[in-house]
């Protein structure tokens, strides 16, 4: 955490404010290696979150996604306690969490008990994470950045790891994209058509766990949703076509991340606030626009051409 404090001081010393000349501003933004790393990491994370988030919203697994993001916090706290690299903690514990969710989801048909199980798992993960943090007194300052993220102090090694994991996950989704879409839209027909629905469900949860683990390293465990749900939900509002929807979701996530990082650089407020507010504003804008469009269409008496 000392690194982060030092960087904050450095940033304050060199901070010159917005000049309103885009070229100068972008150059100022890119003049620090840590900022370049942050932008690279943010882009990788946003692409991955955009893709998996689109499927997560399609499969109505937002609660599972949020639980995994909470589990990510436990992983990081446990890694800090055990003295192993934080990324290892994120990835392994998220993987375990995904398997636990799949086990509960698979055995239960009842929605209410399944959601109770998910909620219990989430609370247990948080409770454990807090135990680790209290046992390891040193990271109490770091608790905020575990929960709410930091874009300072991302190393180029971290960027390489992020890139490798994201490539794997996106390749996997590209490979199973069609059957996964089929299984998500109509599980019964897909099963009858010979699609391994259960296996796909478990492996998707694992990929979701991976991308949550990635995203939490930038946005913090609590703000993963900003990149995972909101851009995907906006894309689902705009189009029902899978390819276009995924592209839109990725674009929104990437743009929101870039803007959020840039705004956080030029101000004193945290990046999580900007990313969540920007993506939520866009979501509300699209919803309101659609509602108005629907009303106008309903008021026109002439039927629409098919």
Q: Which is nearer to other proteins, 162 or 233 (CB)?
A: 233
Q: Which is nearer to other proteins, 51 or 159 (CB)?
A: 51
Residue 206 in contact with residue 259, Cβ under 8 Å? no
Q: Which is nearer to other proteins, 70 or 195 (CB)?
A: 70
Q: Rounded to the nearest whole angstrom, what is the least distance from the CB of residue 170 to other proteins in the complex?
A: 22
Q: Which is nearer to other proteins, 195 or 278 (CB)?
A: 278
CA separation for the pair 253, 47 (Å, rounded):
7
Q: Which is nearer to other proteins, 131 or 247 (CB)?
A: 131
Q: For the purposes of burial, counting CB atoms within 10 Å of the CB of 200, is it exposed (0-12), middle (13-18) or buried (19 or more)? A: buried
- The single-letter DSSP state of residue 136 is S
Two tokens at 75? 């992983």
CA separation for the pair 76, 78 (Å, rounded):
5
Q: Rounded to the nearest whole angstrom, what is the least distance from the CB of residue 279 to other proteins in the complex?
A: 8
CA separation for the pair 191, 59 (Å, rounded):
16
Two tokens at 139? 């990271």
Summarize as ranges the residues that interact with other proteins (CB under 8 A): 57, 60, 62-63, 65-66, 70, 109-113, 115-124, 126-128, 130-131, 134-135, 140-141, 143-144, 147-148, 222-223, 225-226, 229-230, 233, 236, 268-270, 272-277, 279-280, 283
Inter-CA distances, 177 with 64, 200, 242, 272, 288, Å: 20, 10, 10, 30, 31
Q: Rounded to the nearest whole angstrom, what is the least distance from the CB of residue 133 to other proteins in the complex?
A: 8
Q: Rounded to the nearest whole angstrom, what is the least distance from the CB of residue 293 to other proteins in the complex?
A: 15
Q: Rounded to the nearest whole angstrom, what is the least distance from the CB of residue 146 to other proteins in the complex?
A: 11
- HSE-CB at 296 with a 13 A cutoff on CA atoms is 6
Residue 152 in contact with residue 9, Cβ under 8 Å? no
Q: Which is nearer to other proteins, 204 or 283 (CB)?
A: 283
Q: Rounded to the nearest whole angstrom, what is the least distance from the CB of residue 271 to other proteins in the complex?
A: 9
């Amino acid at each position: 955490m000392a690194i982060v404090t030092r960087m904050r001081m450095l940033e304050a010393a060199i901070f010159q404010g917005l000049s309103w000349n885009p070229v100068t501003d972008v150059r100022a933004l890119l003049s620090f290696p840590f900022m370049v790393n942050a932008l690279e990491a943010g882009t990788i994370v946003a692409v991955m979150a955009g893709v998996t988030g689109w499927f997560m919203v399609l499969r109505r697994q937002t609660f599972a996604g949020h639980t995994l993001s909470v589990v990510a916090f436990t992983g990081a706290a446990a890694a800090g306690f055990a003295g192993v690299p934080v990324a290892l903690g994120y990835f392994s514990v998220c993987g375990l969490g995904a398997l636990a969710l799949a086990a509960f989801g698979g055995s239960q048909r009842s929605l209410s008990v399944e959601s109770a199980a998910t909620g219990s798992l989430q609370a247990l993960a948080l409770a454990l994470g807090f135990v680790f943090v209290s046992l390891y007194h040193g990271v109490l300052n770091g608790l905020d950045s575990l929960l709410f993220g930091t874009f300072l102090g991302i190393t180029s090694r971290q960027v390489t790891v992020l890139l490798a994991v994201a490539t794997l996950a996106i390749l996997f989704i590209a490979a199973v994209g069609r059957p996964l879409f089929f299984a998500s839209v109509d599980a019964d027909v897909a099963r009858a058509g010979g699609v391994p629905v259960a296996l796909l469900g478990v492996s998707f949860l694992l990929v979701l766990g991976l991308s949550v683990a990635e995203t939490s390293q930038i946005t913090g465990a609590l703000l993963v949703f900003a990149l995972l749900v909101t851009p995907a939900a906006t894309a689902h509002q705009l189009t029902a076509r899978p390819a276009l929807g995924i592209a839109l979701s990725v674009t929104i996530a990437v743009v929101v991340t870039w803007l959020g990082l840039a705004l956080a650089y030029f101000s004193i407020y945290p990046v999580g606030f900007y990313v969540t507010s920007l993506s939520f504003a866009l979501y509300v804008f699209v919803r309101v626009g659609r509602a108005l469009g629907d009303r106008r269409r309903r008021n026109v008496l002439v039927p629409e051409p098919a």
